[in-house]
Every structure is written in structure tokens, then in C-alpha cells.
Amino acid sequence: MNDFIFKDNELYCEDVPVKNIASEAGTPFYLYSLATLRRHFKVFDESSKVLNSLVCYSVKANSNIAVLNFLFKMGWGADIVSGGELFRAIKAGVDVNKVVYSGVGKTEGEIEFAIKSNILMFNVESIPEVFLIDKVAGRLGKKAKISFRINPNVDPKTHPYISTGLKKNKFGINIKHAIPAYETAAGLSSIDIAGLDCHIGSQLTEISPFNDAVAIVKELLDKIMSKGFNIRYLDLGGGLGITYENEMPPHPSTYMNSIKNILKDYGGTVIFEPGRLIAGNAGIFITKIIYNKDTGSKNFIIVDGGMNDLIRPALYEAYHEIVPVIKRVGPRIKADIVGPICESADFLGKDRVLSPVSEGDLLAVFSAGAYGFSMSSNYNSRPRSAEVLVDKDKFHIIRQRETYEDLIGKETVPDHNI
Ligand SMILES: Cc1ncc(COP(=O)(O)O)c(C=O)c1O
């Protein structure tokens, strides 16, 4: 079942006409369906139960505290990559004992915040990082649980910018250095070695790179455990892809069953960090047409949402389906759908064929719930858009649109002595 559906050629989110939300919230805005989030939660949660597992939702995908609060209330923890994400997760009611912290550049202040917050575990990405965690934990009189993020050198066959598990990537520890890393950590008095971690990339649409990575990690796990290390957690990261256009990613249960096969004799907890799979198709982006511009060689539909709102097309040449919120009959048009930003990369879609549209009409950009708002910025001094959550026949503005005052609220002008 889809919760973004056309009824009589008009787009609804669950039971609410999208145009009604636009009248109240203004445009552009992100629109999320709680029913879809719930369904995605359920599918992943049930699939993961074939293993002794803990699911830590990847906050970076969609970090609105209303979305986080829902997933935490349903029982999941959080995968975080910054002090800011930890702050959000705590405000959204996370059980800190279900928080894992990845990222190559954790600062001393962030490490201190995480230790004081009693998170479950750091996924450590370098040797200098484990020394710093040991130092901070020692100063605080605590022991910090860690796992090492291992880079298995597997090609995830996704866009290079979201591929993380190749040896040329900055992430994790070269698999050849894994055992010495554990031996080094064993000598640190404020470190509790608890796990092994790996995350090879995002938007994976094939099962084989996962299988390859898990098989490599399992072999390493056995070696590490045979040396007497008590690896209670095996974190396999996120990465399962979604359908943007016509991709056919593996179903979570296919993925879980194939992993289960590889891990059959492992008795610890397996951690998953899904992000895109949960939020991506639970959200759309709504934008309004400002102008139709015919340059003589090309048609441009210029809309009020730009690359500052949704950067995926500009950054990865990502495809998002774009459809008018009200479908009209008449000759179809072909155009590039572009934003108001002063960059040629500012497009939402190229050479799109649409049913007829006019200035003032709304367009829906699909599959925008993950890495949409969370990657947005104020470039060109554009206030960031609103976020709205629909639950059956009600909608809630879960983030107000920013104002011009918000743009300069943190800025000050010194005396220039002119
Ligand atoms: C360490 C880690 N875990 C989980 C994720 C979530 O990945 P996805 O949204 O593809 O599930 C990411 C995304 O890049 C990540 O870097």
C-alpha cells in the first residue's frame, strides 16, 4: 500500500489532500507519512528478528525529532555521527544504551559528551581515535565500550560518493590492521572492547556486496574471538537501497536470511543501522512553480525549491520522480525542473515529461524523506523549508519554515573603524 496516492487526479498523503497542507504551510516543504514510517519500521523490525539483533536507526537520514521520537518509542536505538545528532537523539527520547557512534572525526568534546551520556558504544575509525577515547574516559573515571569499524575493501556498486568500504575511502580501519588495532586497544585501561563494525555504503541494490562484506567480517570475527576478545556486538551498518526509479533492491528479509546463514554460529548481538530504507520513501518534497521559461532551445520549469533544499540531484545526479500534485489533461510537456539558486547544478530533474502545468501549480518530488531536509542548507540565503508529518487525516508542522531573521540570528557586525 502506498500512502502518497492520487484520488481523482489529486495527490493525497494518507487522508489529507497535499494542496490543503500547502495552503497552510506555504511552499516548499517536506511531507512525511507516519503510516509509511510505521510500515517500514515493521518490515525491517520483523525481518531483523531472525537474528539476535538491535536496530539503531541512522539519524543522518532524517533527523527531525518527531521522526526520531516515533522510531525510539517503537523500540529502536540510534546510529549517530556527531554531538549534534546525539543531542537530537536524547531530546527525542532515545534509550542511550542503544546508541552507537560512528564517524572518522569525533572531537574530544563530542567524545566527552557521548561518554557522559552513557552511550552503548563507539565505532572507532582510527588508532588515534581510540587513544583519545581512552584518555577522555580515563579523565571521567569511566570505561568506554568500543568496536573497530573495519574497511573490508568490498565494492558496494553504488554511487562513488556514498561508497565507504573500499580501501581508498577514508572510513574504517584497513582490514590488514584490524588485529593489531584490537591488540593496541587491549592495552588501554579505560577501553572495553565490545564489538566489530562495518558499513560499506548506501543505496545498495544488490545482495552480493553485503554477503561478501559479511563473509569477510565473519572470518575476521572468528580470528579476533580466537585470540580471546569478547566480541558481544557485530554491527553491520546500514546501506539497503530503495526504489527511486526502477531499482529492485533486496527485501530486508532476503538480506537478513542471507546474513543469518553466514553468521549461524555467532552468539552475540547483531546491530543494524538502516536510514534511507526507513525514511526515503516515507517522504516527498512539495514545491511550487514560479515561472515557465522557454529559452528557445529548452523549456525550464522554475520552482521555489532548490538544491539548498534537496541536494541529491546536484550532488549525485540522483533521480527523483516528479509529478504535478494535480494532474490535468492536455498535451504533455518536456522540461528541466530547476530551482532559483545561482548554480547550473541547481536542478531537481532533467528532461522530464509532465502533464500540463502552469505557474502557481504544485509539484511533488518523490522519495525525498531521506538525505533531503537533513542535507539542506541556507545557500543563497534561503530560509530552510518546513517539515510536515501526516497521521491519517491530520497533519502536524514538525518544523517551522525558517525566517529571514533566522538567517542572520547568529551573526554580529564588529566596529569596522572606517
Ligand atoms: C556508519 C553508517 N551507518 C548507517 C548509515 C545509513 O545508511 P543507509 O541510509 O544507506 O541505510 C550510514 C550512511 O551513510 C553510515 O555512514
Query: Measuring from atom 12 of ligand 1, which residue has the nearest CA?
Result: 238
Residues with CB under 6 A from ligand 1: 58, 61, 79, 102, 199, 202-203, 237-240, 273-277
Residue pointed to by grid coordinates 530486508: 252
Task: Tell me, in angstroms, the distance from the centre of ligand 1 to residue 171's CA.
Answer: 12
User: Which residues are CB-neighbours of 340 under 8 A, at least 6 positions away?
Assistant: 290, 302, 303, 304, 306, 346, 380, 382
Question: How far apart are alpha carbons 4 and 252 in whole angstroms?
Answer: 22
- Domains in the chain (CATH in brackets) are 4-32+280-408 (2.40.37.10), 103-272 (3.20.20.10)
235 DSSP β-pair partners: 197, 271
Residue pointed to by grid coordinates 582490514: 175
Give the DSSP per-residue string, 287-355.
EEEEEEEE-SS-EEEEES--TTT--HHHHH-----EEESBPPPS--EEEEEE-SSSSTT-EEEEEEEES
Residue pointed to by grid coordinates 546501506: 239
Residue pointed to by grid coordinates 541556507: 378
pTM score over 0.95? yes
Mutate-to-test residue for ligand 1 from 149, 202, 272, 277, highest number of ligand atoms within 8 A of CB? 202
Query: Measuring from atom 5 of ligand 1, which residue has the nearest CA?
Result: 238
pLDDT tens for the chain, residues 1 to 418: 589 999 999 999 999 999 999 999 999 999 999 999 999 999 999 999 999 999 999 999 999 999 999 999 999 999 999 999 999 999 999 999 999 999 999 999 999 999 999 999 999 999 999 999 999 999 999 999 999 999 988 877 777 776 776 777 888 899 999 999 999 999 999 999 999 999 999 999 999 999 999 999 999 999 999 999 999 999 999 999 999 999 999 999 999 999 999 999 999 999 999 999 999 999 999 999 999 999 999 999 999 999 999 999 999 999 999 999 999 999 999 999 999 999 999 999 999 999 999 999 999 999 999 999 999 999 999 999 999 999 999 999 999 999 999 999 999 999 999 8
Ligand 1 atom nearest the C-alpha of 277 is: 11
Task: Tell me, in angstroms, the distance from the centre of ligand 1 to residue 330's CA.
Answer: 43
Question: How far apart are alpha carbons 62 and 372 in whole angstroms?
Answer: 7
Chain-centre distance for alpha carbon 128: 27
pLDDT of residue 387: 99
pLDDT of residue 1: 59
Ligand 1 atom nearest the C-alpha of 237 is: 3
Give the DSSP per-residue string, 199-240.
--BSSB--SHHHHHHHHHHHHHHHHHHHTT----EEE----B
Question: How far apart are alpha carbons 64 and 27 in whole angstroms?
Answer: 18
Ligand 1 atom nearest the C-alpha of 274 is: 11
pLDDT of residue 165: 66
Residue 130 has a CB neighbour count (10 Å cut-off) of: 23
Return the active site residues.
342
Ligand 1 atom nearest the C-alpha of 81 is: 1
Task: Tell me, in angstroms, the distance from the centre of ligand 1 to residue 191's CA.
Answer: 25
Query: Measuring from atom 13 of ligand 1, which residue has the nearest CA?
Result: 202
Task: Tell me, in angstroms, the distance from the centre of ligand 1 to residue 349's CA.
Answer: 25
Task: Tell me, in angstroms, the distance from the centre of ligand 1 to residue 202's CA.
Answer: 6
Half-sphere exposure of 271 (CA within 13 A, CB side): 32
Residue 165 is which amino acid?
G
Query: Measuring from atom 14 of ligand 1, which residue has the nearest CA?
Result: 202
Task: Tell me, in angstroms, the distance from the centre of ligand 1 to residue 239's CA.
Answer: 6
Ligand 1 atom nearest the C-alpha of 204 is: 10
Hey, what's the cell of 323?
Answer: 509529478
User: Which residues are CB-neighbours of 385 under 8 A, at least 6 positions away?
Assistant: 27, 28, 29, 30, 285, 305, 309, 373, 376, 401
Question: How far apart are alpha carbons 147 and 142 in whole angstroms?
Answer: 16
Query: Measuring from atom 4 of ligand 1, which residue has the nearest CA?
Result: 238
Mutate-to-test residue for ligand 1 from 58, 242, 272, highest number of ligand atoms within 8 A of CB? 58
